[in-house]
């Protein structure tokens, strides 16, 4: 199986497994125990304007792309 197919199959399996028990999952971290996630330093993207720019910087100079958020079109980087 190609690496991409493996990745897709793994993701599909995770999604199906995650969804099979939709009905009775008890949240194991209660709402009152989540104060750490309310702290701005725990945001995955605390500075959207900066991360969007850095994605563009890398995408214009690397072959890889995607799975990191959108950086828009165009280039101006040759």
Partner 1 sequence: MFANPSMPEPNDQSRCTSFWHALFVSACLLTALLALTWSQRAPAAVLPEDRADVLYHRYEGGGVTIHGPSVLVRKKMAEKYSVSASYYVDMVTSASIDVEVSGASEYKEERTQYGLGFDYLRGKTTYSLGYTNSDENDYEAETFSFNIAQDLFGDLTTISMGFSRGWDVVRNVTDPTFEEDIDRWSYRVGVTQILTKTLIANLGYEVITDEGYLNNPYRSFRYKNPTNEQLFLLEREIYPRTRTSNAVALNAKYYLPYRAALSGGYRYFTDTWGIEADTFEIGYSHPIGPWTLEFAYRYYSQDRADFYSDLFERRDQQNFMARDKELATFSSHRVRLGGTYEFAPAGIGFIKKGSASLFYDRIEFDYEDFRDARYSMDVSAENFVPAGEEPFYRFGANVIQAFISIWF
- The 2-41 contact track toward partner 1, x by CB under 8 A, reads xxxx-xxx-xx-xxx-xx--x--xxxxx-x-xx-xx-x-x
Q: Count the site residues for partner 1 by CB under 8 A.
A: 56
Give yes or no for residue 63 binding partner 1 (CB under 8 A). Answer: yes
Q: Which residues of 5-42 are buried (b: 16+ CB within 10 A; e: fewer)?
A: eeeeeeeeeeeeeeeeeeeeeeeeeeeeeeeeeeeeee
Chain-centroid distance of CA 56 in Å reads 16
Q: Please, are residues 69 and 51 in contact by the beta-carbon 8 Å criterion?
A: yes
| Interface residues toward partner 1, by CB under 8 A | 2-5, 7-9, 11-12, 14-16, 18-19, 22, 25-29, 31, 33-34, 36-37, 39, 41-42, 44, 46-50, 52-54, 57-58, 60-68, 70, 72-78
């Amino acid at each position: 199986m190609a690496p991409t197919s493996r990745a897709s199959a793994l993701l599909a399996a995770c999604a199906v497994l995650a969804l099979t028990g939709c009905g009775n999952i008890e949240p194991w971290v209660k709402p009152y125990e989540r104060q750490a996630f309310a702290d701005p330093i725990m945001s995955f993207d605390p500075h959207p304007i900066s991360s969007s720019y850095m994605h563009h910087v890398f995408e214009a100079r690397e072959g890889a792309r995607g799975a990191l958020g959108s950086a828009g079109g165009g280039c101006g980087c040759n």
